[in-house]
Structure 1
């Protein structure tokens, strides 16, 4: 393939050299660059996003300056939309990217051109055919879940390409170029064209990007997860899909024109000739910095990016696509770029004059943030209305080290904490006149190279006389009433609520299911309620603000009474600890 491409280019240069011996039409060299918009199946199956291209073209027009032949060589790059990890109650979905997360193509074409000229304006139509050298991304999306049958790993989608992830194909390009001469020998232009590959093979080797996937017929409910198996959510038979390269390209560039009157070729992009006076041009460029998480390759928001030099000092915060604010018309020079988030800095990036060379109008640079911790993204919401609540104080506690930190949810009700790996945490609201459950969060079993974010929705309710709620995650050993360490963590939240609201009086009650002797159940539940009250008293709460009630099986939440056959989940709903507000 490389020999073929080299031969194609040598053929073109030889043609132009011969054509220049008897000049009858213009010979032009152009540098171009711009954006590349993927289309149709290339965008859908390849999951591609807006990219960019850059290249060079050479054209020779014949007598009359209307028809000619040209060579086009360009580089095309399209990134792909990186999939976030998805968590549900008994598993997760992650995508493992095994190489660069982009399509990278080299296009070499040859074909005719037509030019229409009026004064300093001229329009050119061109049609080219040739070859494209393609570089494909490689990835696997894996669903992992645990149920009564054990742990299952299932690949829901993966790429099916040559092991090198490279392919060649026939390709064509057709488009329009609008030019304006700023001097007799130099023109600027804008162009738009369409690029597509053709065929299924090239040299007995597949030439299209191919994926294989299982089609999802029923979405996974994050709160329920996967109960039975894969077939509850995905079709049994996988489908194979492939796509050609299809893109719309738009950009601009500069063109040098050589006609009958031969003159020295000007250094590209650096000088312009006006009335035989050579004046240097300063080639300014836009600067776009993108920050990514080093371990997962995901775009990283909320990073403060600083760009500094002796003539520039800019700071901005990256958006959801990891992009800092674009800086326009940056002059060549030395610049230092660094990012910072959660007290962790990226390596220092230094830009020099070399970075300002080339035809691209924008300098794109990626920097990587390496924080080994996971990021908890939480939301506080009203447990009755379901709308997000701003300004709620939250507390995160590492259950292993007992260290804690607090944060107030922002205007959108969001709060963010950094979580150490292989650790358990609790999250509660700590806000006067409100309460929340003690939610459990863990990073045990998570792979930092595949997962960056952990999510949590924290329900927050108003305290009011007569209101009551079930304490989640408070458990007792079988046939015992003593407070276990994990139950103490839940009761610590009740202690905090009581201290923040001195007028609050509560009834703390314990309930059992219907199994076992009725009188024994009442006695055991009373002992458990009293043990919980004693814990609160030992932690500074006055006993006259507390009442312990053991109801045994007298207040079942469902119909699972004596002699009724029920599932373990139904019985579990009746085994609970409740708090009722007596006065506030």
Structure 2
């Protein structure tokens, strides 16, 4: 336990030293805390049938803080009462029943006085967490316990411990305390502690320190054996441990005039629509180095409190999208006041919010490489999805994008998003959903947008994007072999549809071979109308949409 406390204190020192400098907590300051709570003791005095009950703890501390580190003194009063677990009914000596025993249980009073360092983690002006280490001395008195019963004129001390009378024993204490100040000088505290008293001696009276008379229980009788009494005659050099929880009041007193504050609020919004932008990271840069970072709240505002007045460049980032930057001038900052700046998006751009899920589910896919192709400029960019399967990018006005994902053995559908005929003054975000399917062995996956002219089997230009996606999948998975299947609807003869579908499957394979895929990895099959997905067989009246469901091209990984 002592090694753990030392290691924990070193971690706190390093962490606090590197992290926290802030407002009122930066001032030299005195804190006085009053607290009360519950103490849970453990006495290692090897006394059988005697335990100790949780009871009261009261304390006061005074702490002087230089900023994040301080020095404090603690005074604690702790009271515990012994708890006898030896039987008190149906006691017998042979066949003779003993009288009802007399139980004496005296409280143990402990007084701790300690001094040591404090380390603070400042959350904001009103909240902070403090880790305290204290070393000192304790006075421990009381705890005499005895259970006495009689058989005629003979008294039997069934169970006893003489307690403590220790004037000063070295003790150590570790404490974690949370403070919330509801006014500038008064706050609430809650926390917990671990207290240890080292080398504590109990009392030896008339050559005895503690002991008990063994007993056996039989037929609801407790038969004692005085001849076998277990008596400890020597002082036991042992430890006492305590853990506890507390709550109370803390009073803080700055001992020098507060430093002047310079504050900055930055609003992130879309200039075109006036829409505020929550969860935008705002950064303050000076000479190319980031000095401060904050995040906008639900109202699109980021707060920078008590910063150094400088010439800053204000940059903003909404997920992966950078906003237009702005600047502050050192002369704009006024002592103990707040200046306001606004950072906005590009009015000539739309912002696409994309989501990648596993098809037919709400399960997101992280670390997907999303391929984005501008159909007007033919510029291609790639973005990774985050842990929630989300991705973001800027979209030009009057543009259309084809978008699909790449990830291991997943196959992505190609989706389209467009900013054409969308009023930028009313809309900032374009929403997009992309789904991906895992290509498990033998599972057919429908390739969307593979269309052919009537009675033709050559690959049209609009089908190349889907086949290019399949090319990328096979390139990313070089050991995979794939069956490429073409299906028709039930119209025309079975033989004609079989031949047409085989030719279409062959054409798709030849296209992939022309892109560099080994033909041995591809197996074209034309199923004609033999694997309809609905009831639309020969001579069944169906809509064009129902027939379209059956006209499809599928791929599936060939099982080894």
Give 1 or 2 for the bigger CA radius of gyration: 2
| TM-score (ref. length: structure 1) | 0.47
